Amino acid sequence: MADESAAADRTITTDACVVGAGPVGLLAALALGRRGRQVTLLERRAEPATDGPPPAGPAVVNIVQPVTLHLLDQLGVLERLTEGAGVIPGAEIYFGGHLAARHRYDELDGCPVPHALSIRSFDLVRLLLAELAALPNVTVLWEAETHTLTAGQGGERSTLTVRTGDETVAVDARFVLAADGRSSTIRELAGIPAEVVPSTGSYLDVVVPSPPGWDGMARAYFGTHGYLLETRRAEEGLVLVWITDAATAARVTEGPVERLVETLSGVVPRLADWIAQHVTDWEQVRRVQHHFVRTKVWSQGNVVLVGDSAHGMHAFGGQGLNTSLQDAACLARLVDEALSGGSGAGIEKYESVRRPFIEAFQSLQVSNTQQPPPRAAAEEERAPEFEVLALGQPHIRSRISDAAAFLAAHDTPHGR
């Protein structure tokens, strides 16, 4: 490591090095940058276009819950994000074809935003990048590959050797936030053990136009078929997501697309004619492989794992991006406190409260995605609680509120 640092073309000394310029890394970098911290952001991909059409191929779309939308509102991007999003006013839950519960966000006590949003991740990235570009104390290195990491202990700095183009850069950081996904390079270089396990279940989705008079409510159907979600796909229309075990999916997908139409129509009879009219070819159907990530610890010394680097999830329940953005906001506040002379112990305390909830949710996802549903089990045990999805994990709601205030407070003693 010493030889490679000495051979570096230049050295960047920074308060925080954030690795990964997806939504999670961008939020963390923006939160710390707005507090006046020196931030270096590393991304292995090329710099995306800040205007024009989105990249080719199917867009990654996420349902963002009110608790997370509140954080984005405090950043000042929610109004613009809503322009290209699909508004979801609430949700209905069905067990065995029968309506079991109906919820509306605007009727939920303490709900900070009266709806959820279905958003394209690209739109969120573009907005956060635009905000980040206004901060002269944030340096972004694109097409940057991290080759070595010496993690600091006991208040010492971490040093990363980064290659970008023909240049080798040594990044000397007081904290390193790894938001570089399930195959995290930083996690590996830091020597943090991780299990990365592909889901053995099946995930299929298909987008159709919004039916006339559709109310935009998300509807979750639990039954012997597995799990079917009817919801908005950004502003594009309606998406039907079918999650089931591999054997059940194989019986349907190893034949003509009409078998899928029959399955979907049997779960949602009111849309049967609409589905048959608009789903006519397997080319319309997207298949996604999800992975579960579990790590032994979320931090080591001053290296902190954020989002999928620490706890990758299945799409069931739509909590991957939500929990990751919540983590990024909370951890950025704790890192800022540590940079001000406080203790980094708050990060470990946050993990001790957050981890049991995350791992329990991952277990719920496994039970809904990888085996045929047990008929003897109460169906209600298969569904996540609406209030928890909307408002976040009860044990950290006060921390999320603190993080929201942190995101909103730009004029601080550390400000630009």
User: For the segment 63-117, what is each residue's pLDDT rounded down to a tens digit?
Assistant: 999 999 999 999 999 999 999 999 999 999 999 899 999 999 999 999 999 999 9
Q: Are 196 and 312 in contact (CB under 8 A)?
A: yes
Residue 253: per-residue pLDDT: 94
Query: Environment class of residue 348 by beta-carbon count within 10 Å: exposed (0-12), middle (13-18) or buried (19+)?
Result: middle
Q: Residue 383: name the closest of 91, 112, 86 by CA.
A: 91
Per-residue pLDDT in tens (0 to 9) along the chain, 416 residues: 334 445 789 999 999 999 999 999 999 999 999 999 999 999 999 998 877 676 666 678 999 999 999 999 999 999 999 999 999 999 999 998 999 999 999 999 999 999 999 999 999 999 999 999 999 999 999 999 999 999 777 678 999 999 998 899 999 999 999 999 999 999 999 999 999 999 999 999 999 999 999 999 999 999 989 999 999 998 889 999 999 999 999 999 999 999 999 999 999 999 999 999 999 999 999 999 999 999 999 999 999 999 999 999 999 999 999 999 999 999 999 999 999 998 889 999 999 999 999 999 999 999 899 877 655 355 667 889 999 999 999 999 999 999 999 999 865 544 43
- Phi-psi sector, 216: left (phi>0), alpha (psi -120 to 50), beta: left
pLDDT, one tens digit per residue, over 228-245 is 999 999 888 999 999 999
Specify the CATH superfamily of domain 2-88+114-198+290-372+387-408.
FAD/NAD(P)-binding domain (3.50.50.60)
Q: Where exactly are the structural domains of the chain?
A: 2-88+114-198+290-372+387-408, 202-287
Residues in Cβ contact with 167 at an 8 Å cutoff, skipping those fewer than 6 apart: 9, 10
3-class SS of residue 155:
coil
Report CA-CA distances (Å) from 216 to 116, 236, 310. Answer: 11, 12, 33
Average pLDDT, the chain: 92
- Phi-psi sector, 138: left (phi>0), alpha (psi -120 to 50), beta: beta
**How large is the greatest C-alpha to C-alpha distance in the chain, in angstroms?**
68
Query: Environment class of residue 289 by beta-carbon count within 10 Å: exposed (0-12), middle (13-18) or buried (19+)?
Result: exposed
Residue 370: per-residue pLDDT: 83
Is the CATH number 3.40.50 carried by domain 202-287?
Answer: no
- pTM of this prediction? 0.94
Q: Which DSSP symbol is given to 27?
A: H
Instruction: Return d(Cα 305, Cα 323) in angstroms, integer.
Output: 13
Residue 378: per-residue pLDDT: 58
Instruction: Return d(Cα 179, Cα 327) in angstroms, integer.
Output: 11
